[in-house]
Amino acid sequence: MSEIHSQWLNLRPDLRAWYARPAAAGPHPAVVVFIEAFGVNPHFQEVAERLARAGYCAIVPDIYHGKVYEYTDFDAAIAHLKSLDDQQVMAEAALALDALGERAEVRKDAVGALGFCMGGRYAFMANAIHAGRLSATVAFYGGGIAPEKDAVGREPLLHLAPRMQAPLLLLYGARDGSIRPDEHGRIASALSAADKRYTLTVFPATGHGFFSDRRDSYREPAAKEGWRLTLDHYARYLGDRP
């Protein structure tokens, strides 16, 4: 197992980020990680550390500002999700990108985005809002990208497709009750119409939240394959892994 370092970074007085990096000097490619609705919990610290062990510097901006919810406290987590402002989240993502740019161990020309659930939506959004700063994006079961009507009132994002530059990898479960197959189709149609490079993969017999091994929704085969596809995507577009 590769040696890594991890710590909290202060991006500004009211905003911190979890940061993990390979122990080797680098420079290394980097990834901005967008959380699910439960906060920067141990699972997301581990996601950053998994990326670091794979040769990436990983930063997880704490867009919940210190709030963390148990997976059983779904109502409180969703209430917090509803309170988020997309422009503020993208501004805080910009601060995370700035922080990466100030670190000597980071390759400034090889930065990607990764998100899960609500974070998948933010990774998709960042691929447009911060198009000039990202070289690859991965979204696991990104909810709220293209619903006919979003359950929590978020704005769909397909109008952003023409602004995107980085190749996208989108991962879904076929039995995800919150992201139906027709939404997959709308996303694919919009990205194809905008002439964008993307891969959309659907895992059979798999529901929402299949990556998090802290939840009952975890499905090991899809999680392992999704992670392999993620690292392959980054290896191709952010440079070879060590």
Tokens at 103, concatenated: 């670190």
CA distance 15 to 75: 24
Tokens at 158, concatenated: 């397909």
CA distance 234 to 228: 10
Strands (E), 23-135: 28-34, 57-61, 106-116
- Percentage of the residues of the chain whose pLDDT score is greater than 90: 94
To 5 degrees, how large is the angle CA 60–CA 62–CA 64? 145
**Residue 136 pLDDT more than 70?**
yes
Mean pLDDT, all residues of the chain? 96
Sequence length of the chain is 242
pLDDT digits (tens, 9 = 90+) for 80-98: 999 999 999 999 999 999 9
Say which residue the tokens 């191709």 belong to.
236
CA distance 34 to 36: 7
pLDDT of residue 240: 56
The pTM of this model reads: 0.97
Q: Tell me the β-bridge partners of 30.
A: 57, 111
Contacts of 202 (CB under 8 A, 6+ apart): 172, 173, 174, 181, 184
Phi-psi region of 50 (alpha: psi -120 to 50; beta: other; left: phi over 0): alpha
pLDDT confidence band for 2 (50 / 70 / 90): confident
CA distance 21 to 6: 6
